[in-house]
Amino acid sequence: MSVDRSTGDQQPWPVEQAPGRVDAIRPEDDPFYAAPSGYEAVPPGTILRVRPVEIAMFGRLRQQVDAWQLLYRTTDLGGFAQAGVTTVLRPHNAEPVLLSYQCAIDGVASSCFPSYALRRGARAFGAVPQFEFLLVLHALRRGWTISIPDHEGPDGHWGSPQEPGFCTLDGIRAALSFEPLALHAHTPVALWGYSGGGLATSWAAEMAQDYAPELELVGAALGSPVGDPGSAFTRLNATLHAALPTLVVAGLRRTYPELDRIVRQYVNEDGMRILDSVESMTTVRAVARLARHDLDDYIDVPLADLLALPEIVEIFRDIQPGRTAPSMPLLVIQSVHDQIIAIDDVDGQVDRYVEAGAHVTYLRDRLSEHLSLHPLSAPTTLDWLADRFEGIPVPEPSIRTVWSTAFSLAAVRGVASLTWTTIRALTIGVRV
């Protein structure tokens, strides 16, 4: 039992003291991530351990925000208990709302996990969460408390279905019960994520009604949410982004034993060396290293034949989102000319949601591409989320193709404000 200094109340979880300035420890070597004995018996979302942390851009530029990490009990794809971590941020002008932001982890190395990559002293060059954190800081300026879960779980299960939803929803449960955040069980909660984070957000939105029906989820924003990971796998092979299919194989091997067996049976020695090498790479490093790599060069049968195996077909069916209608309203934003996520795949995900009865607002953006859409659409997304927090009635479902989500006076002001947030974060640090 420990005492929370901010409230004077006794807490049932151990609290670590803030250390002096040291390099962050990788999760596999950090005892904070180790689940305590008997944790399996407590309900999902129960906090197991807490520590204050310092947050920094790219591990070096400290940001002035109150931050903690919560170790909590969650569930894996097989229904077994595991320990997850979320990083929670509270601005000084906090409103009684919570945003769960799912980063595009897009890798299996622990250096890609936001709980490591966002800490002061982290050595995670090329981890996508370090770039996305600029948008998180911008959301913090609105006074929203934010939870950033390691939604791949402790073992980096990138591409796994459902499990990112469990990790995200249990991270929300943990955040709502953490007294320094001054939230409660009926706090309005929203979800947001882009690309790989949009896929994780899709799973959280889909799993919420059955897995965490008590949460007051008011909306979910899905930016470029992949739509069909199997389609993306085959389309990106041998392109500039060929590392992404390889990283998906590395992640799904950890989730599906039958896939690991098939990989060991058909992948040659050079291919296994590549798979082993990406285990320690950040996303950007892997993309740079494996550009134009063709998986056909590393297997003993044609790739098309391998992908036609019943076990692979079943896995690709499992990992495709969109079969369950989320109970909260959805905002989906996708670039028409996205070079990584095909517009047809996201169209398909939206169609499945609509057919299942979900309330969807879908914006198809003509002038952006994958990397530019996220910051350009952030003001529109944040305004939509703000309306959900304020209880403003949701507009009628719609599917629209627009020239740009940034072509409005409000969006232009939002982009200018985001630019100012970026300048401050990279110079004096943002105080929120």
DSSP code per residue over 71-90? EEEEE-TTS-EEEEEEEEEE
**pLDDT tens digits for 246-299?**
999 999 999 999 999 999 999 999 999 999 999 999 999 999 999 999 999 999
Q: pLDDT value at position 9?
A: 45
Q: Does residue 192 sit in the same domain as residue 284?
A: no
Q: Does residue 181 sit in the same domain as residue 242?
A: no
Q: Does residue 222 sit in the same domain as residue 267?
A: no
Mean pLDDT score across all residues of the chain: 93
**pLDDT tens digits for 56-71?**
999 999 999 999 999 9
Q: Does residue 73 sit in the same domain as residue 192?
A: yes
CA distance 89 to 82: 23
CA distance 59 to 54: 9
Domain closes at, from 255, 285, 318: 318
The CATH number of the domain where 394 resides is what? Answer: 3.40.50.1820
Q: Does residue 206 sit in the same domain as residue 347?
A: yes
Total residue count of the chain as it appears in this document: 432
The letter for the amino acid at 323 is R
The torsion angles phi and psi of 214, rounded to 5 degrees, stand at: -80, -15
Q: What angle do CA 235, 206, 398 make, to 5 degrees?
A: 75
Q: Does residue 132 sit in the same domain as residue 280?
A: no
* Residue 361, domain member (yes or no): yes
The number of folded domains in the chain is 2
Using 50 as the pLDDT threshold, list the residues of the chain that sit under it: 1-10, 21
E strands along 4-150, which residues? 10-11, 47-52, 56-57, 61-62, 66-75, 81-90, 98-102, 145-149
Q: Does residue 186 sit in the same domain as residue 241?
A: no
Q: 283: domain range? A: 229-318
At residue 123, the 3 state secondary structure works out as coil
Q: Does residue 233 sit in the same domain as residue 215?
A: no
Q: Catalytic amino acids?
A: 195, 338, 370
Q: pLDDT value at position 15?
A: 73
CA distance 369 to 336: 7
Q: Which of 411, 326, 330 is nearest to 367 (CA)?
A: 411
Q: Does residue 236 sit in the same domain as residue 220?
A: no
